[in-house]
Amino acid sequence: MKLPFLGGAYEGRSSNVSPETCINLFYEPGQADSLVSTPGASTLNSTYSEVVRGGIEYNGKAYFVIGDTLVECTTGGTVTSRGTLSTSAGRVSMAHNGVRTGANQQIMIVDGTTGYIYDNTTSTLTEIADSDMVSADTVVFVDGYFVFSQTGSDRFWITSLYDGTAIDPSDFVTAEGDPDEIQSLVADQRQLFVFGKKTLEVFYNSGDADQVFKAFQGGHSQTGCAAAFSACRFDNSVIWLSQNERGNGQVVRLGDGFQPVVVSTPEVNYQISTYTNISDAFGYVYQDEGHEFYVLTFPTANVTWAYDALTKQWHQRAHIINDVVSRERYNAHVCVGNTHLFGDYLDGTIYKMDPTLGTFAGSRILRERRSAIISDEEKRLRISSLQLDMQVGVGDSNADDTSIWLSYSKDGGHTFSNEIEKSIGNIGDYARRVIWRRLGSGRNWVFRIRTWSPHRIVIKGLIARAHGEPQ
C-alpha cells in the first residue's frame, strides 16, 4: 500500500496530531507528484567578511551592502567597492530609479539613520546632503519618485522626480486612516502599500502636484506588519508577517478588496508563536523551475520557512552551522537576469544558486521528510517491508554520497528507532530498490527519511507491505 508520505511541513503542538517535517525538500505536483530537493549553491565571491545587509539589481549587476561597504558584483563574480556608509550593522533598504540614460541613474539606500545615493554615471556613493533628509528605514521607487518611511513616525517622504538627492520640506504624507507607526513600504503595480504596526493603507499617484500620493477609498485594513523586512511582492500580490490589535504571527497575502488572506497553516502559526522575537524576521521572493517561493527567516529563532505559490505548501530551509541544523545562511537575495545571488549573514560571502547542485558551497545539505501518522484504528499494523520510491542511480562511486537513512516511530512521533542506512545507488544503478524489511508492528507509525547526498533528490512516495500481503 502506498502511504501518505508526500507533502509539506505540518509539525504542530502535538506529534500525535501533526508530526510532519519537510526540510530542504519541496512538494511538486505533476503527472507523478514528488518531493524535490531545494537548489544548492556555489561560492561566487568571498572577498568580504562582514554581514551582507541587503541587495538590489541595477543595470544587469548586483549591488550588496556588506558591512559598511557598497559592493558592485557581476554574475561572473567580479566585485568592486563603490563607497562606504556611516553604519556597518543592521538591515538596509534599497531602491533604484529605473533604466535611464544621462543623469540621475540612482540607487537610494537607507539604513535606519540616514540616506545615501549611488550615482551610476559617476560610480560614486554619497550621503544625501539635503537638510530635509530624515532617518529612514525602508525605501521604494514608484511612478518616478523615491518614497521612504521616516523612522518611528507615521510619515513617508517623497523625493523630487527621479532624483533622490532633492527633498522638499513639504513633500511628506501622513498615514491618517488610523494613527499608527509606519513599519514598511512596498511598491507594487503602481500602488504604494504603507504598512503600519497595526494597519495597512494603500496609496496611488493622484497626479496632484501638491499631494502626489493619496489613499485609495477602501484601501485600508486593520492588519499591520510585525516585521518591517518581511513585506515583499509575491505572486502578483503582496505578502508579509502580520500583526493587529488582537495579536500577531500569521503570514498573510493581499486578496481582493485590499483585504489580507492568511496563508500560514495552523501548524506554522503555532511554530511562530513559540519564537521569542519575530520583529527581526525578513523575507525574500524568488522564482525557479515554475515555483515562486516566499522565504521567511527568523534570525532570533534561527529558523527559515518557505511558502510555495504553486502548491500553497510550506517547507523549511536550513543550513548546518556549527554542526547544528540552523536557519539559511542567506541574508539577502538579488536576481540578475536568470541568476540568483545570495549574501551570507556570517561572513560576507556571495553565493550563486545552482539547481543542479545538492550542496551549499561544497558542504552537504540535510534533506528530511517525516510522515503523518499511519495507523489501523482496529489493530496493530505489522510492516514486513518498506520501500522508498525515488530516483536512484545518482551517486558517485568515488564518494560516500549514496546513503539514505530510515528511522521510525511507533508512538506517534515521540520516540524514534535508530537510523537504518540504505544506498540509493551509483550512477547507472537504475534498477536499485531502496527497501527496509522486518520493521515489526505498531499502532501509530511515523517514518522519517534523511539524507545528506550531494545530488538532487526526487522522492515519489513510500510503499509499505503489511504482514501477509503478497510480494
For 26-41, what is each residue's pLDDT tens digit? 999 988 899 999 999 9
Q: In the predicted model, what is the mean pLDDT of the chain?
A: 93
Tell me how far apart the alpha carbons of residues 404 and 425 are, in angstroms, rounded to a whole number: 10
| Exposure b/e, 313-341, CB count within 10 A at least 16 = b | bbbbbbbeeeeeeebbbbbbbbbbeebbb
For residues 428-439, average pLDDT: 93
Question: 85 and 371 in contact (C-beta within 8 Å)?
Answer: no
pTM: 0.95
The residue with greater pLDDT, 99 or 249, is 249
C-alpha cell at 343: 549574501
Q: What tens digit of pLDDT does each residue of 87-119 get?
A: 999 999 999 999 887 788 999 999 999 999 999
Q: What tens digit of pLDDT does each residue of 398-426 get?
A: 666 899 999 999 999 999 999 999 999 99
Alpha helices, H only, 166-293: 266-273
Q: What is the DSSP string of 133-175?
A: ---EEEEEEETTEEEEEETTSSEEEEEETTEEEEEEEEEEEE-
- The dihedrals phi and psi of 86, each to the nearest 5 degrees, come to -85, -5
The pLDDT of residue 290 is above 90: yes
Amino acid 101: pLDDT: 78
The pLDDT of residue 376 is above 80: no
Report the SS3 class of residue 44.
strand
For residues 121-137, average pLDDT: 95
Domains, the chain, in order of start with CATH, read 2-38+368-466 (2.60.120), 41-361 (2.130.10.10)
Q: What tens digit of pLDDT does each residue of 305-354 get?
A: 999 999 999 999 999 988 899 999 999 999 999 999 999 999 999 999 99
C-alpha cell at 196: 503600519
Question: 22 and 5 in contact (C-beta within 8 Å)?
Answer: no
